[in-house]
Amino acid sequence: MTRINILSPLLADMIAAGEVVERPASVIKELMENAFDAGAKKVKVEFRNGGSTYIRVTDDGCGMSPEDAGVAFMRHATSKLSDEHGLEAIGTMGFRGEALAAISAVSRIELITREKGAEEGTRLVIEAGDIREMLPCGCPEGTSITVRDIFYNTPARLKFLKSDRAEASACLNAALRCALGRPEVSVRCLRDGEEEFFTPGDGRSESAVYSLLGREIANTLLPCKGSSPEGIGVQGFVSSPATSRGNRSMQHFTCNGRYIKSALLQAAVEQAYKNTLLTGRFPACVLYITLSCAAVDVNVHPTKNEVKFSDERSVFDGVYHAALGALENETPLPARTREVSAPKFVHDAPKGEQLRFSAQAHTSAAASAPRADFYRQMDAQTFRSEVQSGSLKLDGKGSSLSV
Ligand code: ADP
Ligand code: MG
């Protein structure tokens, strides 16, 4: 055996970055989550060349003081958790204080931030974890983080990046998922200077679904709503059985605003379609699950894409009943099965997982709203111009950032 070395903090961060920053899309997710945690109402996401040369996320959130900006990139630096008790009920997207440290260890970063109410902002340049420049600057309230040349100092990781096209599609999916989870935040996403999507941030999940998944998908969805005595809220949309799909790529779940993957939730939804869909056909859904932060552990996965529910049975039942209620209230559609296509989301459904959960079919107590005409009334262009002209309700506060 050779002698044991204690790794330098930079090397430790570069290794840790492997877990958090798998590819440019991971940076987009982490920066958007930070913007949400900062209370942003408007978030702008830009990336170029699949995110490999340039990613910028700008928000109108609380911003950072110069002192906080200086420590934000240190490992285990977080404003969201102060002691071990906090770990039991995490209500923010982040809490580990490792994303900025990890990203800065493998890229060149420029941070521009101004705390709400502060006279001036701070500009910080960081390269491979080192602060190169830190100066006061004039800037709008909020934060803008630019990440350039990801993995420039870790050639082995750089080699594993796929084509710009594939990375761009992963970046777009990451941004879409984050935006889908937060209908109350207006998100604008630009890829190589071209706008990919815009959500109005009016707090209505149908607006987010329409903007992100497109009218064709949105038109096939039925409103779905339910709540359980255990405090589990389910809201969103499930597809009509007449528009089933050949895979699960159109099943979207969020838990307390966090986009998650969950075999449990997939199984709960699919159970509601047991008697209406053929084997090998899958429903589409966009479901927003809300429950007490103490009833869900978000600290079970390195990228927090999966969560652990403390009472899986209740969550399963809540989702199952809500989906069943939506189907029972459905106005019958033509029996012909129709394939619907996803305009933006790229297929990455988990393959062949064993669904281990089941539920007894019984009449739903879940309340279901009548089918909304929302999507049918306008095309994408009209929707867009209505939002921009303000006739569709937007968060009217405005922002000092040009998001
Ligand atoms: P975490 O999100 O787990 O706390 P991060 O490394 O992502 O860790 O961020 C470190 C800290 O930097 C956050 O806790 C927060 O205080 C601050 N921060 C990061 N991004 C922003 C932002 N967009 N606006 C305001 N503060 C931010
Ligand atoms: Mg974070």
CB of 96 shorter than 6 A to ligand 1 = yes
Atom 17 of ligand 1 has which residue's CA nearest to it? 72
Which residues is 236 bridged to in the sheet? Answer: 224, 287
- Which residues keep their CB under 5 angstroms from ion ligand 2? 34, 94, 99
Q: What is the number of the ligand 1 atom nearest to the C-alpha of 98?
A: 6
pTM: 0.82
Cα dihedral 12→15→18→21 (10° resolution): 40
Which residues is 148 bridged to in the sheet? Answer: 54, 108
Question: What pLDDT, on a 0 to 100 scale, did the predictor assign at position 229?
Answer: 86
**What is the best residue among 62, 67, 78, 87 to mutate for testing ligand 1's pocket, by most ligand atoms within 8 Å of CB?**
78
Measured from the Cβ of residue 112, the count of other Cβ atoms closer than 10 Å reads: 21
**Ligand lying nearest the CA atom of residue 78:** 1
Question: What pLDDT, on a 0 to 100 scale, did the predictor assign at position 303?
Answer: 79
CB of 72 shorter than 6 A to ligand 1 = yes
- 10-residue block means of pLDDT along the chain (403 residues)? 84 79 96 97 98 98 96 87 79 87 95 97 93 96 98 92 97 97 97 97 95 90 91 95 92 96 96 92 96 89 86 95 92 41 41 30 33 38 51 35 36
What is the 103 CA–ligand 1 centroid distance (Å)? 12
CB of 78 shorter than 6 A to ligand 1 = yes
Task: Residue 183: name the closest of 370, 398, 395, 38 by CA.
Answer: 395
**What is the best residue among 34, 75, 95, 185 to mutate for testing ligand 1's pocket, by most ligand atoms within 8 Å of CB?**
34
Question: What pLDDT, on a 0 to 100 scale, did the predictor assign at position 386?
Answer: 52
**Ligand lying nearest the CA atom of residue 70:** 1
Structure tokens at 129: 């974890």
Question: What pLDDT, on a 0 to 100 scale, did the predictor assign at position 80?
Answer: 83
Backbone angles phi, psi at 101, to 5 degrees: -60, -45
Residue 299 amino acid letter: N
Task: Residue 213: name the closest of 236, 242, 184, 185 by CA.
Answer: 236
Q: Angle formed by the axes of helices 164-181 and 24-37, to 10°?
A: 20
Question: What pLDDT, on a 0 to 100 scale, did the predictor assign at position 202?
Answer: 97
Residue 169 near residue 346, CB atoms below 8 Å: yes
Atom 20 of ligand 1 has which residue's CA nearest to it? 34
Cα dihedral 181→185→190→194 (10° resolution): 110
For 48, the enclosing helix (H) or strand (E) is strand 42-48
What is the 175 CA–ligand 1 centroid distance (Å)? 18
Q: What is the number of the ligand 1 atom nearest to the C-alpha of 102?
A: 6
Q: Which residues have a Cβ under 8 Å from the Cβ of 38 and sit 6 or more positions away?
A: 59, 61, 62, 63, 142, 143
Q: Angle formed by the axes of helices 164-181 and 205-213, to 10°?
A: 170
What is the 206 CA–ligand 2 centroid distance (Å)? 27
**Ligand lying nearest the CA atom of residue 16:** 1
Residue 20 near residue 166, CB atoms below 8 Å: no
Q: In the β-sheet with 251-255, what is the strand arrangement from edge to edge?
A: 221-227, 233-239, 285-290, 251-255, 258-260
